[in-house]
Structure formats: C-alpha cells, structure tokens
A and B are shown apart, each in its own frame.
Chain A
Amino acid sequence: MSATTATMPRPDFIHVEDYNFWYGQNQVLFDIDMEIPECQVTALIGPSGCGKSTLLRNMNRMNDLIDGVSHKGDIRLNGTSLYDPDVEVISLRKRVGMVFQKYNPFAKSIYENVVFSLRVAGRGKRCELDETVERSLKDAALWDEVKDRLHDSAFGLSGGQQQRLCIARAIANQPEILLMDEPCAALDPLATLKIEELITTLKKQFTIVIVTHNMEQATRCSDRTAFLYMGKLVEYGDTLQLFGNPKQKDTEAYISGRFS
C-alpha cells in the first residue's frame, strides 16, 4: 500500500482525534486533534517536554513497550484506527517506519542492517534483498558511498552516514509513513544538510512526520508545522504561514526564541 502519485494525496492520512495520553498518573498529551496530509512533511516543534516525541511515538505504538501507559481518543492511519482490536502491532510497525534521534545501527553489516525488516518478515530471497538494499540506499542517498563495502560493519561509517543508513533501514520495507524523531540532533551541520535534502526527496514517496528542535530545519524542509506546548496543540498550519504570521502568542514567543 505504498503511496502512489496516481491517486490524490489524502489530506487526513494520519488523523489524531482528541488524543490524550498518560505515563502512569502523569498526563502528557491533552486533546490533540490534527490531520496530517499524505506525502508531505509535517514538523512537530515545541520546547523540551512538550509531548512532541510522545505524540510521534504513539503513531506506531512504540509507547506500548513502556509499562503503565494509557490513552484516550484515537489515531487513524489512512482511515483505520491504531487501536482497533484486530490490529496487530507488528504489522502496524511494518507500515510505519521510524528514525531515531541517535543513529542506532545494529552490530551487523551495512547490508544486514538494511534488510533487517525483510528478514524479520521472513523474506530471504537473495535477489529481492539485493534489490531492496540498492533501492533503499539510493533513496537514502548513501549508495554511492557504501556500495563497495556493503558487507562491512555499519560502525565503520561516519555519524551522518549511519543516520542515513538508519533511514535506508526504515524505508526498506516500503512503509507508508516515516516518523523521524529529531533525526539530526546528533549530527554536524553538513550531515544535517544532507539529511534535510533527503527528507525533501523522500516526501514524494512517504508521508513524513518529523520532530525537531531546530526551527530553521522546520522552515527548510517541512510543509506543515505543529507547535505543541505543555502537551497541548497550540497552533498547526502551513509552515510558511506559521513562522511568518503566527496566530498565537505562545507560538510567536517560541519561534522568536523567547523561551525554549
């Protein structure tokens, strides 16, 4: 079900409906309601602890791995709820790829890192794997740099390369959505630039949600931006409009750097 340009992009590809979320007794998300359009880059910004990462991690139910969480409301992916009783979390995560803040390749070769999602899905045909590795690495703009050493350890790559490898790994299984949790936080400016270029090309194929602290980054590569503050969605709209003409005082304060 990969996104195609043939049909019209769906404006509410990810639909967060009155979503509340608790870690134990501690509520971190309050009545979040937003629609994330297909094949666009949506940035989540906000000060530390505002709940943007939590919201992102709920989109593939990664927070299920934590004890004592609870939620109210719903998140729909392409019309189906994440919490439908017949949703298998494993299959859900195959539709939603994720890239983490700190690049985290496995202690395996570059090749095995990329095909990991195929391996755990039980796909082992050599030609299929080879094809996936080439396509994913090309999509992640890493192919030319590593094509001669695919079977070397992934740890031999630089930080930026490792993060692009993680992106290649996340898109290898052709997910519909790519969640990126501050993907450039641990990278130098040059590597950051590369990732940002990559994001711009990847949005043709994937719906991308990115959490970032870097407002220039949000302006550079996102189409829409949501500002979260204290667990609430303060403002959500076109990136240019939100940064150029914020409607809320808090938003303005934040983007002009008056609090972080």
Chain B
Amino acid sequence: MPGPDAKKPDPKRFEVSRNTLLFDRFMGWFIRFGGIAVIIAVIGIFFFIAKVAVPLFRSANVEQSGSVEAGVVPPVIGVDERGEMPFLYEGGSKLTFLNFVDQSTKELTVPGLKDAVITAYAFDTVRQRLTYGLEDGRVGSFLINYERKFNEDATGSWLEPAVIEEPVFTVEHGEGPVTAVSYGDASDPDDPSGARLIVVKRGEGQKASVSVIKLMMKKGLIGTAKLRMVGQTDLSSKLSGEAAMVRASSNGTMILVVSKNGDIDYFARDVLEVNKVQTFHPFEGEVPQQVDLLYGGVSIILTSRDGQQQQWSLFRESAESVRTFGMVKEFPPLPKGAVVFSNSLRNRSFIAGAGNYLSLRYSTSGDVRWEQQVDYKPVAGIIDGKSKHLIVAGDDGVIHRYQVNDPHPEASPKAFFGKVWYEGGMGAKYQWQSTGGSSDFEPKFSLMPLIFGSLKGTFYALLFSIPVALLAAVFSAAFLPLSVKRVIKPMMEIMASLPSVVLGFLAAFWLAPVLQYRVPSVMLMILMVPLSVLMIGYCWGRLPVVLRNRLDGGQEWMLVLPVMFLFGWLGWILGPVVEGWFFVYTDSSSGKQIADFTMWWPQATGMAFEQRNSLVVGFMMGFAVIPVIFTIAEDALSNVPKSLTAASAALGANRWQVVWTIMLPVASSGIFSALMIGFGRAVGETMILVMAAGGTPVMEGNIFNGMRTLAANIAIELPEAAVGSTHYRTLFLSAVVLFILTSVMNTLAEVLRQRLRERNKIV
C-alpha cells in the first residue's frame, strides 16, 4: 500500500546520481550540437563560396543618370574617361562641351579650322583624336585633352578640356574633296614615337580614290618628337569597287575599305608597305551600314541595313596560312535604322543602337547584356574610358547619360560551360586562359577543360591505385599471417600521411625525368610483374602437395616477392630493347631511324608527349590514394564475421574462394566507400597536380600529356586574381563546381552503397 513517503528512495537501493544524469544529458546535447555544427559548417562553406560566385550571373544594370538639353543632333560625340563632360562636334571648328556635374556648357574653337571647309571627319575613342579632311584635299587632326584641375584647398575639382592640334598633310593622290578619313596610331601614349597612318578617300563616283598617308613620329637628337610623313600609297587600283567607308585600326596595322558593292578589302600595313590581304563580303552584295573595329583590333562588328549584326575576326584557317577575316558569330538582330556603335576600352563590350532601341552587348559570348526601348532615336553614342557611363545623343536634341554597372560582362553560362569562338581561334572551343600579357587581352573562362582535367587526373590516379589497393587489401585481410599484417597496415597508414607537396616534388623533379626516357620499361614492368605473379601462382598450384605443404599458409609472399622484383628489374632492363623493336621513329630532317619513345609517340599518334604527364601523376597520386583505399577496404574485409569465413572454409573453399564468394560480397559496401573516399581524395588532390601535371588546360585523354584540374587551378591562380574581379569570382565558381561534383558523386555512391549493403547484409 503506497504510503505518503512511497516516493522516497529505498536507502538500500543504489540510485543513479544526479551528476551522472546531468552528465549524460549534457553529453547528449553536446554530441547533437557537434553533429549539427559540422553540417552547418559544410553548408556554410558552400554558401560562402557560392555567394562570391553568384554576382557573375547578374546581367548588366544600366540606369539613366542625367540628361542635358543640347539643342543639336551631333554626328560625333566624345567623352572624358569618367563620363562627366561629353563634347559634341558637328563638323566645323567648334566643339561644345556639356558638363553633367554642374550642367554648364563650354565652347572651344579649333584655331586652325576657322576658315576651313571640312568635308569629312572621324573620331577615334582610343586616342581621343578627331581627324578631318578638307575640301582642298588636305587632312589633319587634333586631340581633345581633358585635364583635371583642383581648387587651391583641394576641396573640389573640375575638368578643363583643351584641344591639341596636329600637323596637316596634303593628299597627293586623287582629286576632289576628302570624303572619308580614318587615323591609326601605333604609338604608346607614354612614348609617342612610332608609326601612324591616315586613310583618306577623295572624291565620289568614278573619280573616287583611296590612299594612305604613312607617318612616323621620330625623336631628333635634341628636342621633342616630330611627326613626319614617310610616304603615301594609292590603294585605288587594288580596290574591289567604289569605296564607301574607310577604317584604320587604332593601332594602325590594318586598313579596311568598304566598297559600295558590299565587298570589304583588308589591307595590312608593314613598316613601309601596305598590302592587300583579303576581300570578303559579309552581307551579299549589300553595303554594311556600320563597320567598326572592336577593342583589341582583331575583330570587327558589322551591321547590315536590315539590322543583322555579325562579328568577324582575324584568324588562321590552318597553322600555315596568314590571318584573314572570317565570321565568328552573329548577334541578335537590331531594328532597322541608322546604327549607333561604340566599343568599350576595357573589354569586349559595345553599345549598339538603332531605331529607338539601345543595347549593351558583349562580343566574346555574343550576349546581350542589357537592352531597352527608349523614347528617342539614338544618333550617336559613346562609352566612357572606364566603361561606367553611356552617353547617347538622341534625335530630340537631348544628350542622355546612363550609368552602367556591369562588372562581369565576360561571365555567362555559355562562357563557362559552352563552346566559344574566341578572337584569333580557329573555331569555337572550350578554353581556359584567364590572364594575358596586354590590357586588350580577351579572357577565356571555360571551366570545361578544368573539369575534364580533374576527371582525367582522377581517372589515371584511380586506374593505377584501385587494382593495387584492392588486391593489397584482399591479400592483407585474407592471406597474410597476422604477424606480417601487424607491420604492413601501420606502414600503409603512415604512407597516407605523406605530405602531398613532397609527393608532388618527387613526381616533378625525380619521377618525371626518370620516366621520360623509360616509358617502354614502365610499360613492360606493368605487364610483366602481374604476369610473373600469375605465372608463379600457376606453377605453385602444379607442385605436388607434399612440396606445397612445406610452406605454411600465408607465407607465399616470401616466394612471390623475389620473383616480382626479378621481373620488375627485367622489365626495366628490357625496356630499351623493346623500344628498339617497336618504338622507332624516322627523323624528318636526316631520315634516320631512331629508337625513342618520346619522339615515336607524337609521330605515331599525333598526340603530344610531355615530361610531366598523366602517367607520372597517376603513379604519384597512387601514393596518396592507395593508403586511403587500402586501409578502409582492408578494415571492411577484416570485419567480415569469422563465422562466415570459417563456415565457407569448413565447406572446402580455398582461400581465394572464401574471398570471392564470402568476403567480397559481405564487404562490398565497405569497399565501395573505400573507393569513394579514394575518389574524393583524388579529385580534391592539389599539390601533386600543381607540381607534376604540367598545368596546361587541354582537353585530351592522352596519357602522355598533362592536365590542369579545378583544384590545382584555384591554387595557382587565386593568389593572382584581383579580389572581386571576374577572374576571382570565376575561380570561386570553379570551387562550387568542384564541390557539386564531389557531392553528387558521393551522394550517388552512398545510394549505391546502401543498396549493396541491403543486398549483402548479415542478420
């Protein structure tokens, strides 16, 4: 009968102490917290990496940031580097500067043009140079220079525009007024000496002529550099038709003459000569409405009268031929109407406008970064030097200014994962080349070669290590006596802790040079060592039982090891002999027959042979991957219940049958996780690949050349990438790809592993 003190503990019974209960509860929560924290950390890392990469996929943000009533519709518009003070030019001696900061207007007069009759003019945004042609056949130019002035107390600043006049030259060839001009200038802004040229068209109709004035800026012994005319060349006789437009590339090496029949003649300028290279017709029989060179001077953008827009680039059709123009890509068409074009001086962006449509496009990927219908018709436009502003003159007499925020125009899913036809390339391809020698370099951000490299490196590493590691695990778990196993297993585990930088160093500076001239030996060893083991196994089985019983079970390795070494050594020695039999190449210059695998391989297969190749990487990665796979697989095999192995042995199964029929199926899920962890190690391995893989982002399965993997690429390039740049974010994107690659593989593997375990589980 429960009394009032029934709940009181029986003093004779031991109660669980409060401390034990508290500790138990604490540990429960502590472990839960640890587990959740790990998951949060992993997800957090993923989100941090992804967060850096996400801005790559934002399209351009362009917003109107002011407008000024100009009252005119200017044919030419130019601007300073920061988009503060555009100027308008209408073909006289007057330049009108509009200040977007204080809305003021300023006019400048070019003194030399006061009484001149200007019949043609062109503006080059790279040099801020306006070139003009006169009615009397002379051509000249002036530069617009913006200088930033500061208050005395440095509290404010303003731009002070100025005009710098340049010499005027008389065109010798042709007659009539100058009808088109274009200026090319190869000089460096800091060093004005160098070659320049002016392309001039004179007259119209039957009498039209095109000539080139070649100029040279040379420093005398004393004083400043002086611009001298070197000569003039008449191109008229070489033209395909009556010229309509002339274009010189801003570095002065290339001249394009657009004929009225739609042909475009491409001339290349050497030091003194101007030679015709090619005639091409982008739009059959039709004069393009707009032809302009892109930044870098290798590509042109052309627009037809009905709004088709194409990019043509200089490239070689084959390795030997000269560079000629060919169509590289087509952009989404523009509406009909006069075309407004201006290219960025930072990257491959350009603005294109027609009708009342305005868009910002990027030539590498062929993407439209931004587009808008505007309530006026654009007649002229320009991108400022920092690519931060668009200045567009409308037919309504208003100058519109747009703020451009497009930090990553190079980025797009197509650029990362699709084939892109880069400037100078022979076709569309996957290419990774993030930085170049000059500012007008076109970055190539395809991740495909890196993904391919990662998979290739992993493939060759696993090709070598899976058989070795699994066979070693089986041997150790099922054949080796415990005493030997006790030594072998810790040794393998120590091997796993070898720093990969040491392995990479060994691979690059010792293994690679050794293997370079020993490929036939290595192939022979790979063939001979396993065969010799099989052979000795066969012979062993043929020996009478009496002899076989002399050796205790598990001691056979003492017999096998010397044979393996013997045949390994034989393979090494016989390699050059085999090379002499099979790998003889014919030297193309002397016609001699030389036994050299490194030369034979490229000749026989057409693929490259490099010293730091996949074979070296596969070997060395093996040192990193084998211990991981071995240790886990060995544990899985050793943990197969003794009752099962004993039962099968008692039924007369030999050791190999015990392994094959009982141990492998039961341990299969554990072996599978061993393989997956080995895979993860191989995919993520960095240092060995940085040092020994050669680092070329090629997409070739060839075992005798290298690769560049995602991880190695991040290690190599991240220290050099400017924080926040497209390059920097693309490297983070490649990290995301690596992360996803491994998680997808691991998830798939886990699913498969669970199925294996379900099928082979022991109740």
* Docked-complex contact B649 and A93, CB < 8 angstroms: yes
B646: A residues at CB distance < 8 A:
62, 65, 100, 104
* Residue A253 is within 8 A (CB to CB) of chain B in the complex: no
Residue of B nearest to A153 (CB): B763
Contact residues of A between 25 and 62, Cβ < 8 Å to B = 60, 62
Contact residues of B between 527 and 582, Cβ < 8 Å to A = 544-546, 548-550, 553
Give A67 to B485 CA distance when docked, in angstroms.
11
B653: A residues at CB distance < 8 A:
90, 116-117, 120
* Docked-complex contact A107 and B647, CB < 8 angstroms: no
* Docked-complex contact B549 and A86, CB < 8 angstroms: yes
Give A15 to B641 CA distance when docked, in angstroms.
32
Contact of B648 among A85, A106, A121 (CB under 8 A): A106
* Docked-complex contact A90 and B643, CB < 8 angstroms: no
* Docked-complex contact B549 and A87, CB < 8 angstroms: yes
Given A87-B549, A107-B760, CB of A116 within 8 Å of CB of B643: no
- Give the bracket for the number of chain A residues in contact with chain B: 20 to 34
Contact of A120 among B482, B652, B759 (CB under 8 A): B652
Given A85-B546, A119-B661, A120-B661, CB of A65 within 8 Å of CB of B649: yes
Contact residues of A between 70 and 99, Cβ < 8 Å to B = 85-88, 90-91, 93-94, 96-98
A93: B residues at CB distance < 8 A:
649-652
What number of B residues sit within 8 Å (CB to CB) of A? Answer: 33
A102: B residues at CB distance < 8 A:
643
Contact residues of B between 270 and 285, Cβ < 8 Å to A = none
Q: B58-86 CB contact bits vs A (8 Å, 1 = yes)?
A: 00000000000000000000000000000
Give A102 to B657 CA distance when docked, in angstroms.
22
Is the contact region of chain B dominated by helix, strand, or loop, or is it mixed? Answer: helix
* Docked-complex contact B652 and A91, CB < 8 angstroms: yes
* Residue B17 is within 8 A (CB to CB) of chain A in the complex: no
Nearest-neighbour CB distance to chain B for A57, whole angstroms, equals 9
Residue of B nearest to A175 (CB): B652
* Docked-complex contact B666 and A107, CB < 8 angstroms: yes
* Residue B694 is within 8 A (CB to CB) of chain A in the complex: no
* Residue A221 is within 8 A (CB to CB) of chain B in the complex: no
Contact of A100 among B544, B545, B553, B647 (CB under 8 A): B647
Give A117 to B661 CA distance when docked, in angstroms.
11
* Docked-complex contact A104 and B641, CB < 8 angstroms: yes
Contact of A121 among B548, B649, B652 (CB under 8 A): B652
A62: B residues at CB distance < 8 A:
646, 649-650
* Residue B226 is within 8 A (CB to CB) of chain A in the complex: no
* Residue A170 is within 8 A (CB to CB) of chain B in the complex: yes
A65: B residues at CB distance < 8 A:
645-646, 649
Nearest-neighbour CB distance to chain B for A51, whole angstroms, equals 18
Nearest-neighbour CB distance to chain B for A188, whole angstroms, equals 17
A121: B residues at CB distance < 8 A:
652
Nearest-neighbour CB distance to chain A for B662, whole angstroms, equals 6
* Docked-complex contact B661 and A88, CB < 8 angstroms: no
* Docked-complex contact A104 and B644, CB < 8 angstroms: yes
Nearest-neighbour CB distance to chain B for A62, whole angstroms, equals 6
Contact residues of A between 152 and 210, Cβ < 8 Å to B = 155, 166, 169-170, 173
B650: A residues at CB distance < 8 A:
60, 62, 93, 96-98, 100, 170
Contact residues of B between 498 and 515, Cβ < 8 Å to A = none
Give A121 to B653 CA distance when docked, in angstroms.
7
* Residue B761 is within 8 A (CB to CB) of chain A in the complex: yes
* Docked-complex contact B651 and A86, CB < 8 angstroms: no
* Docked-complex contact A67 and B481, CB < 8 angstroms: yes
* Residue B224 is within 8 A (CB to CB) of chain A in the complex: no
B665: A residues at CB distance < 8 A:
107
Q: B751-763 CB contact bits vs A (8 Å, 1 = yes)?
A: 0000000011111
* Residue A64 is within 8 A (CB to CB) of chain B in the complex: yes
Most buried by A among B643, B649, B759: B649
Give A91 to B550 CA distance when docked, in angstroms.
17
A91: B residues at CB distance < 8 A:
652
* Docked-complex contact A88 and B643, CB < 8 angstroms: no
* Residue B654 is within 8 A (CB to CB) of chain A in the complex: yes
Give A86 to B666 CA distance when docked, in angstroms.
33
Given A104-B641, A107-B760, CB of A170 within 8 Å of CB of B651: yes
Give A102 to B703 CA distance when docked, in angstroms.
53
Nearest-neighbour CB distance to chain B for A66, whole angstroms, equals 9
Contact residues of B between 468 and 519, Cβ < 8 Å to A = 481-483
Residue of A nearest to B653 (CB): A120
Give A96 to B481 CA distance when docked, in angstroms.
25
Contact of B643 among A86, A100, A119 (CB under 8 A): A100
Given A85-B546, A87-B549, CB of A107 within 8 Å of CB of B761: yes
Give A60 to B650 CA distance when docked, in angstroms.
8
Residue of A nearest to B647 (CB): A104
Nearest-neighbour CB distance to chain B for A224, whole angstroms, equals 23
Residue of A nearest to B549 (CB): A85
B760: A residues at CB distance < 8 A:
107
* Docked-complex contact A104 and B651, CB < 8 angstroms: no
Nearest-neighbour CB distance to chain A for B637, whole angstroms, equals 15
Nearest-neighbour CB distance to chain A for B400, whole angstroms, equals 77
B657: A residues at CB distance < 8 A:
120
Given A104-B644, A166-B647, CB of A173 within 8 Å of CB of B549: no
Contact of B651 among A67, A87, A88, A116 (CB under 8 A): A116
Q: B660-693 CB contact bits vs A (8 Å, 1 = yes)?
A: 0110011000000000000000000000000000
Contact of B544 among A86, A96, A98, A119 (CB under 8 A): A86
* Docked-complex contact B649 and A86, CB < 8 angstroms: no
* Docked-complex contact A67 and B647, CB < 8 angstroms: no
* Docked-complex contact B651 and A173, CB < 8 angstroms: yes
Most buried by A among B481, B544, B549, B760: B549
Given A116-B661, A120-B661, A155-B763, CB of A88 within 8 Å of CB of B545: yes
Give A19 to B481 CA distance when docked, in angstroms.
25
Give A117 to B652 CA distance when docked, in angstroms.
6
* Docked-complex contact B652 and A86, CB < 8 angstroms: no
Nearest-neighbour CB distance to chain B for A171, whole angstroms, equals 11
Give A154 to B501 CA distance when docked, in angstroms.
51
* Docked-complex contact A67 and B644, CB < 8 angstroms: no
Interfacial residues, chain B to chain A (CB-CB below 8 A):
481-483, 544-546, 548-550, 553, 641, 643-654, 657, 661-662, 665-666, 759-763
Q: List 16 A-B contacts (CB under 8 A).
A: A62-B650, A86-B545, A88-B545, A94-B651, A98-B647, A98-B650, A100-B643, A106-B662, A107-B666, A117-B653, A119-B661, A120-B653, A120-B661, A121-B652, A166-B647, A173-B651
With A85-B545, A106-B662 given, name 20 new contacts (CB 8 A).
A60-B650, A65-B649, A67-B483, A85-B550, A88-B548, A88-B549, A90-B652, A90-B653, A90-B654, A93-B650, A93-B651, A102-B643, A104-B647, A107-B666, A116-B653, A120-B652, A155-B763, A169-B647, A170-B651, A173-B652
Leading 7 A-B pairs by shortest Cβ distance? A94-B652, A98-B650, A120-B653, A104-B643, A117-B651, A155-B763, A67-B482
